[in-house]
Amino acid sequence: MDQLEFENALKKLLKQPLTSATFEEVRPVAEALLYSEFLPSLTTHLNNLEKRRLVFLLEKFRRYSCSSVFRRQQLKSFSQSMKVEQTYRNHNVRRLVDPLAKQYGLNEDLNHLKPQLLSLQTRHYSRV
C-alpha cells in the first residue's frame, strides 16, 4: 500500500458511519496506522464529524501494543494536532458505544469488528 491508497481507503471509511464499515474497509486503514509510516494528509478537507471519526481511529489504533513505541507516539502527536475537543458532548450517544468514541461525541464505533481487529495485533500476525 502506498500513501495514495491509504488516503483513498481512509477517505472512504470516514465518509460513512463506522458501525456500517466492513472489515475489508477498515483493514487497510488499520494496517497502515499500525505498521506503516503513513499519516493522513486530507485533514483540511474533513468536516467536523469526519475529523472526530479520524481522531477516534488514530486514538483507537495507537493503543494497540503491536505498533512500535515511536509509531504510537507519532499517532498520538498527530491526533493531538487535530485539535478535536475530547469532551465533546452528545446527549444522543448510545449506551453501548466504545467509551473512546463517546469522548469524541460519536454514536458509532468499531465494536462489531472487534474479533477481526484483534487479529491484526497478535504477534503472529503477518501482513499479506
| Residue 39 grid coordinates | 499519516
Q: What is the pLDDT of residues 45-92, one digit of tens each?
A: 899 999 999 999 999 999 998 899 999 999 999 999 988 877 655 556
Give residue-wise pLDDT tens across range 85-94: 776 555 565 6
The structural domains of the chain, with segments of one domain joined by +, span: 3-119
Could you report the per-residue pLDDT of 1-41, keeping only the tens digit for each?
A: 899 999 999 999 999 999 999 999 999 999 999 999 999 99
Question: Is-contact 21 117, C-beta < 8 A?
Answer: no
pTM value?
0.89
pLDDT, position 37: 93
Return the closest-CA partner of residue 20 out of 46, 42, 53.
53
